[in-house]
Structure 1
Amino acid sequence: MADLSLLFYVFLTGLEIEVSAFLRVGKKIMGIAVTGILIPMGIGIGLFFLLQKCAHNPATTEGCMFWAVALTITGFPVLTRILADLKLLHSDIGRIAMSVAMLNDMYAWVFIAVLVPVGVSLKTAPYSIIAIIFFTLICLYVVRPTIERIIHHHSSDKEHYNEYYPCFMLIGAIICGCITDAIGAHSIVGAFVFGLSIPKGDLVEELLDRLDCFVPGIMLPIFFASCGMRIDFTKIADSSSWFLVLLVICFACMAKILSSLIVCFFFDMRLRDGVALGLLMNTKGILSLVILNVGWDKKILNDQYYAVMVVAILVMTSAVTPIMSFVYRPISKGPNIYGLRTVQRSNPDTELRVLSCVHTTRNVSGMVSLLDVSHPTRLSPMTVFALHLVELTGRSSAMLIVHSTPRSTAHNPSRAQADSNLIINAFEAFENDNHLVTVQPLTAMSPYGTMHEDICSLAEDKRVALILLPFHKHLTVDGRMEDENADYRAINLNVLAHAPCSVGLFVDRGLAGAVRSGGPNDIVMCHFAMLFIGGPDDLEALAYACRMVGDPRISLTVVRFLPGKNVVKMESETNISEGEERQTTIDENYINEFRLKTVDKKSVMYIEKIVNNGEETVSAISAMDNSYDLYIVGKGTETMSPLTLGLSEWSENPELGAIGDVLVSSSFALNSSVLVVQKYGSGDHQNGGTLPSYGTSRGEHFSSIRQRVMGGLI
């Protein structure tokens, strides 16, 4: 059963490998891979003969190659999972490491095909190697075209294809394994070559979908159990044997690091990247255990050599993740990697890039409607990166999936895959209806605790100006806001704290129905309100609202709250700080520019309301006409305004800001959606922006002193 599980596993490995990818590797990757094999192999052979002198029962001389190859190769699947857990999968060092490990895997299969015949008998080894070459050529140039013709002939009969073809493929893997075993190689060579010969397409997707959980999750542990049963710890019980184990680990690790450092000098790599690459190359996988088991089966390696190597491989692989987490941190790209980090800085003649995040299909309709009314133009088209956030569960590895290829049409797709297909279809339909919008669908799979890192990293890589996040509560049929998932709130808080651009927190309460309530020729379909108090977040929210004004379906009302004569002072001093004066000037200039640009637009209204404290602000909002489909407000991250004094003391959702929390928690706006905007770089004074060009500055705190709410407040 262990041999059968191993045979099926390597068959699946062959299915997943794209041979053409090996033809596209560059000189740098090839140089790192070759150097990472030759130097560690030489050191491994030296360690073998060093152990020969200390061993009571020396192994055969042929065992030096099994020993050296087991120490040399890198486990590609295990390395991929480690890189994903370290959030390095899409980094430069991660891509280099995966490419080198992929080449190492192919070299390992060549070594296995050659070592087994040589280890069995030197006399018959040439005949076995020639037979393996002929077998490989037959699989690639006879079996593969035959399978292609059969698949093409029965491509329309999906039910027959799904039911019988996977069975035939597994039987073929067993037959090929028996053939290579009979000609003097190992059975896994035949199964692997057969997997390579199957043309990539729906059949491969079907096989992987049906067997990807059963073989690695149920059958393969039998092979690992058999490996553990072969270890005889009495052979390495004395202190000298454990010293040899430690010696093997140290020299094997240093061999990979040394080879990576040598390549660094030829390809102008940084020293820290060379060390990190060497550490990652010490990741061992199932092929190392396969080579050791073959040597043990053929009596080429004795019990002591086998035990030393298995323990060394386990320790080396287990140590990679904690050591990398401690010694290697990706260097930040710096704060100026791109300039258009806010909607204000995105000029009317530049592209607006938005990262739109959704958790479930429930979030899609409202998010698409919000993007629909963002009014892309010919001079300012919009690129949307639609990111489906999926919690990492079970044995899966954290990953970012770019849906640039046709989606899987598996017979029984998982829940996450089915949701992704629906989400992708919705965003693609939105793209087809809007020729000025480009949509790139993606799926991020990671634990909820680190999901914000994926969002922020993707936002920086894609150079987006705005991240749109769904609120963690949704509207129920009885009009209440109900928690959907508490982890969603933690994700939103982390993104707000670490985002590399502006963030919009969207509370959807039926915006999709409002947008679709009329025909395309209607003059006004949706009524939006922008509540302006002052500060950088409000300026960013107003900048986003300005983009919507060009849509003939939108009516926008900007309500500006101004302090009255009896306004509450934030501190005992009456002096106005320089930061407050600067922010007040910026707000005033921005509002004046907005009014000047929209003076001829009948769909835009500007209203000023005089209030003195937070209670009057809430009363003024409550007195507004309750017919708005969307409220757009700034979060007020660092703005302590007397007009919102005391509201935060009773806030249920601080991430929405004082005004946003009032809108969501109150009963007068049950049918209105809310968009809360937080501007990037709220702690710095910056110059630049559009409408006008000074829209990105922000003031300092009005005060760090927070007073208790006075009598009569909510």
Structure 2
Amino acid sequence: MDGEDRKELKILGSKERCQDLISMTFANFIAYVLGYFFIFFACNFIHSMLRPLSQPRIISESIVGLIVGNLNFITKAFGQSVPWTLYSVAEIGMLCYMFALGLEMDPYVLVHRPTREAKVAYAGMLSTFLLSCIFAPLMNFFSTTSKLEFIIFLALAISNPASPLLTRLITDLKIGKSDIGKLVIAAGIHSDMVSTLLMAICTIISKSRGHAFVVTLATVVQMMLIAKFGSSFICWINDQNPKGKPMKGSHLVLSVAFMVFICAFAPVIWAASPIFSAFLAGLVLPREGRLSKMVISKLNYFWSSFLCPVYFFWAGLQADFDQFNPGKFSTWSNLFFLFMVATIGKISGTLVSGMLSGLQWQESIAIGLLLGVKGHFHIYLAVFSGEVGIISTSSSIVMIIVTLLTIVYIPLVVEYIISRARQRSNNPRMVLQWLDPSSELRMLLCLQGPQNLTTAINFMEISRGTAEPGIMVYATDMIELTDQVASTLIHREGVEAVTVTDESIVEMREQITAAIQAYMEESGKGITLRRMLALSTFNNMHQEICVLAEDALASLIILPFHKRQRGDGKLDEGHLWFRHVNRKVLRHAPCSVGILVDRGLGLTGKVSKSLESLKVGVIFIGGKDDREALAYAGRIAGHPGINLTAIRFLLDSNADNGSIRARSTRHAISEQEEEMKLDDECFAEFYERFLADGRVTYVEKYVVNAAETVSTLRTLEGLYALFVVGRGHRVDSILTAGMSDWEECPELGPVGGILAASDFSVMASVLIIQQHSPKGDLHGLDDEFSVI
């Protein structure tokens, strides 16, 4: 065979090898595609079976990944390159997940005053972290790594909730718009951000070892540069591609290249963790604007729709059940301790924060269980730790099982929350705003003594409005239970289980009863009277008042202000114990509460149609309490002796409020817009009923800020004998921002405090109303669940 023949044979052999390589590559590609679709359809099938149990998709994907990844014929068919390829795909998916997670979060909330959601998040994180540090040495997770580093990182991972999964679960299970749903979502995002940030810092320090300071400083500088120039770049892209027009291809490619560069810079330069580097890069970039929103939606869709099946198959492939040790006691003890620490840690923290913020213990436990949910990132940490030898494969499988256990009970917790909401909806809402105008108003009118008698009578007359539907008044004496009074009590059966025989108290009550009965006989049409007694120590008197109001199905409790007017028109120092009672009633009342500051109402002759009309002004700025004050004003508008004026304060649209709105978070702005919508609807209904026919005068006051609000309020001095205002303690409005800093009596609210101040008026009485909310502000569920 000559040289040409050998050359020809060599060429033919090369062609055959190339064809074989191409055929093998094509066959592998076909196998990958078929395998992907098999896993994808298997996940959908399992998810459809678990849907009646309200289990999320992560459960079905985990089941498929763990089962398929542990099939012997599949693991034997794979070479060494396939697991590495799957790991690369899973790594890319986790990079997308963490970058989108950081981009969705607002790091500037860390420098603001902690909200209730932040306090719940911090409490749950701290308690879980401490419990993890205590019990981690009892778990046999350690391998070759430093125990201290592992304990800290494990504690942070257990403290970390999966906020994207939690948000999805809360939304899918139909409590996303409820108050408890909003609280859990906000607390979960806050906790996720803080704990992931701490894990990133710990990773940077542990990896850099002796160069920790230099690497940390370089990372901080890098983040500052990304925040500075990245924001400018994204703003430029947004300006060049306004909403409504397709994004330019060159700008889209440039944006992708920029984001890949900032995520890969730190891992390439100083071998930082690419996962945490992507999270930090996303965290410092602005989350507002067209580009950021598009990136978040596209990455989340790409991750959930295409990468998740491969990700869980990789996790199942690495979680080799042949190395799982179910027969060892340490395996189940690790699983038990890890699950209990993750669950009890969150519950104990939310219980403490719930007690401080007024949440009921049932809701606190439910919040703790919801915040204990783990997700994709925790499975990645478990698998990665086992793969690099930090922990054993058996321990890695234990962590995956615990992660899934924190998810499966979530639908049961939400079902419990819904059942409690439905139970509440069966009870009548003790709120004036939702009370049928054609039904009578049931009121618990409290008296401290004979000094409140004339005021109480005039207030009853004002409140009755028209004779139909009328009001039911429970005139209640507030009597302190001293040792002397206790010695005169007689215990009986029936409604009046306790009777006071103290002569001074009996005489006082008879005096009040006689005066009220005289009024009722003369002009008490439309009023039904019941006499009651709140007999208790000052520490517990609020409980007695709340029980009486609940038993009477009252919609409004009226409390006298603890200060009384002196002869010179000023208010005295008042009775501090009655102030203590008033503040506790505001916190625990089962219905709306009004505090009446009497400055002349008790000195005025009885209000009736035969006497000169009483000028009443209802001030409406916005919020639940102001809507409740407007509802009360609607009740008294029909009284022939009342000359009512509705005064609405509005924000001057011509003023520059951009700096104020810029400091508000997106969540706060959306809440303000929702409240403004409710305010407009409420006022429109009031206008239709009372203003259109001229029964009520309407005045608008346009102001810019709180200072103008105060000055405008002072111009009303001398115009009205009674002001009706909302307490406004739950309102975050530009018109009242900062006014609470001057409050002498927070129970009166910012506007009520100004109107009741001694330097405002000596003739104008003030009624401050607070609308009832279930304890802890966990309402908002009834309407949503009524259609489930």
TM-score (norm 2): 0.42
Which structure dedicates a bigger proportion of its chain to helix?
Answer: 2
The structure with more radius of gyration: 2
TM-score (norm 1): 0.46
